[in-house]
Chains A and B, each alone.
Chain A
Amino acid sequence: MRIKTYIFVVLALALFAAPISVQAKDDSAQNREYQVKAAFLYNFIKFVDWPKEKMADINEPIIIGIMGKDPFGDAFEPIKDKQVKGRKLVINRLKGLEELKKSSEKDKSKLQREIEALRKCHLLFICSSEKENFEEIIETLEGSSVLTVEETAGFLESGGIINFIMEEKKVRFEINVTATKRAKLKIRSQLLRLAKRVVEEKPSDEAKS
């Protein structure tokens, strides 16, 4: 009798556990969107060439930085252990700029270290929470060849490189070629071809900078 009860309990648990695990995987539309975006971030690396000094040591990993309030959840799980361009991939979550400044008010060197970590990234996804600080962040990254990605309209105009947009429930992107050039990055034509919009700043702007 005891054994039967035991088996019954186990089976019941198994039955209930399965829908729970399925439910856990059952992505919401937003979740799926960020999974696609994570895959896109991973794929962008393949179509972008960094300058030599950024890729000096082959043993150094490729770092994807997520700055601000992270909307991805576990979307990076499928690509976490993958290699790209023959290197390991590291997902580095960073504090938002305000929070950063706040936490390192007393310690200037800590702020410096945080900024250094920011500049060390190959690709930096700036979350929409940092909308207010775009220009400052981009200024901070000046000359560090970081591929900046956003998901907010108008980001490109602020000097960002790639911006995600949604079109008929599909993830698409825009590219700012001028910003790319400024960051000494090369984006392959295949990627450019797929971009919904390619922004090129006017020569006068370029001359001004």
Chain B
Amino acid sequence: MSILQNMAIKHKLISIIMLACITSLVLAGAAFIGWERSTFRSEMVDSLSTQAEMIAENCTAALAFQDAEDAKQTLQALHVEPSIVFGCVYNKDSKLFATYYRDYAEIKVHPSEFQEIGFSFAEGFLTVYKPIVLDGEMVGTVCLRSDMSPMYAMLKHNISIIVTVVLLSSFAAFLVSSRLQKVISGPILSLAEVAKVVSEKKDYSTRALKQSNDEVGLLIDAFNEMLEQIQQRDSALVDAKEQLEVRVEQRTAELTTANEQLTREIAVRKKAEERQAQLLKQLESTNKELNDFAYVVSHDLKAPLRGISTLANWMSTDYADKFDEEGRGQINLLLSRVDRMHNLIEGILQYSRVGRVKEQKLQVNLNELVPDIIDMIASPENITVTVENELPVIECEQTRITQVFQNLLSNAVKYMDRPQGQIRVGCVEENGFWKFSVADNGPGIEERHFEKIFQIFQTLSPRDEVESTGVGLTLVKKIVEMYGGKIWVESKMGEGSTFFFTLLKQKVGGKNAKPQASVVSRR
């Protein structure tokens, strides 16, 4: 089969037809010869049997009266049939009674083994046996032998005729099939040719020629349709390609323009940035100058102030008896003003120090630090300061966080107007921040002052009533914002106020930080 599969379609068709033809012819011929052979045989058996029966009939009397000569004469009649080479009659004792040999076969054939009835084919001879019956009694047997060679010769002749016929018909079938195979292979070959042209030259405008209305015709139609579609697609593709090129050019142009614009914009922005940086630098230097100025001024102012204070003290002690009541009062007023001046300058100094002087950051345990601060403030007995819950350990400059709590707590104490004052320090965790609170039950702050209190030198009560520099909350705000936190106040008049501030919750070294912090705070 695989040999067939790789053949050209033309040869395939021819060989299929030839195979079919030859097979059927050979089978028919074989069947015919087989049939003829069996017919010949049965005919021979029939005719020889008939002859044997006739001989048997004619030999009854001869056998009955033991006249072998007569039997021999009867057998002699067989000479009219040339194929019978031998005939004999046996008596009822199975002894040879009479024989007949065809002259040339005398030596060849000998009486075979006795057989009462039937026939056998052996050594190219047919032998037939018939009983000789007289009045219902078997009186002997006749045996005839016929040469089969004429039959075989005839069979051979027939076989040669059939072989010739098969050969001639095969040749005729070959001629006819090689003509007729074009009906099927022609369209397929032309289709294959077109397909080859299409695939080699990429020419999709060629079309296969439809020659028939069968499946091949359908195939060609489908192929042509396919080609048409491919052609359409191809032309569409070419169009699209051209359009694409145009669009690419346009886009390139647009991009170039945009690019140029962008370059310009970048240049402009760069310039602006440069200017911004310059401004920032200027601002920084100005700020620094200002800070330095404040520091230098307050530092420098402290020296003459110390002089004034010393002198005023000397005067109040040395000349106490020389001054009258009024003079002593003014000297004391002078001393208190000098003190206030000193506090102011100290406050400004501290403010300017924030951010300017850097301390090393430490792990600070607020649970130890805050009670220390509370102790340090030494609040009056009517005021109780409590820490509500456990405070965290934070990493920061210890001085700064001390300043924050000190200012907030001292403010709360300072402005407390209740006989039983309560101050509570608390802390909760909120959105990645620690939210600290310092709440009091003091006078409270009006809402309109919520912003104002964080501005420098702003105090809500007159200086004479409460000794205040107006720097504390400003300092606290600056520290909290420096650490990235926020500070605000919530208050209701007459009920007290709560200051909140947040600090970024750092990733602390966990519980290990605690002992270190406690060591630091003791130092």
Which A residues lie at the B interface, using CB under 8 A? 36, 40, 43, 46-47, 82-86, 170-171, 173, 188, 190-191, 193-194
Contact = CB atoms under 8 A, between A and B. Distances in A.
A84 B139 CA distance: 13
Contact of A43 (B58, B65, B70, B136): B65
Contacts of A171: 66
Given A84-B135, A190-B58, A47 B66 contact: no
Contacts, number: 32
Interface in B15-71: 58, 60-62, 64-67, 70
A165 to B, nearest CB: 13
A83 B134 CA distance: 12
Contacts of B62: 194
A173 to B, nearest CB: 8
A64 to B, nearest CB: 15
Contacts of A173: 65
Query: Interface on chain A toward B: helix, strand, loop, or mixed SS?
Result: mixed
> Of B58, B65, B70, B136, which is in contact with the most chain A CB atoms at under 10 Å from its CB?
B65
Contact of A40 (B58, B65, B134, B136): B65
Nearest to A196: B67
Interface in B59-85: 60-62, 64-67, 70
A194 B135 contact: no
A64 B61 CA distance: 20
Contacts of B137: 82
A36 B66 contact: yes
A189 B514 CA distance: 160
B234 to A, nearest CB: 108
B65 A194 contact: yes
Contacts of B135: 46, 84-85
Contacts of A188: 61
A46 to B, nearest CB: 5
Given A40-B65, A47-B61, A194-B65, 17 more contacts: A36-B66, A43-B134, A46-B64, A46-B134, A83-B136, A84-B135, A85-B135, A86-B136, A170-B66, A171-B66, A173-B65, A188-B61, A190-B58, A190-B61, A191-B65, A193-B70, A194-B67
18 contacts: A43-B64, A43-B65, A43-B134, A46-B134, A46-B135, A47-B61, A82-B137, A170-B66, A173-B65, A188-B61, A190-B58, A190-B60, A190-B61, A191-B65, A193-B70, A194-B62, A194-B65, A194-B67
Contacts of A82: 137
A194 B70 contact: yes
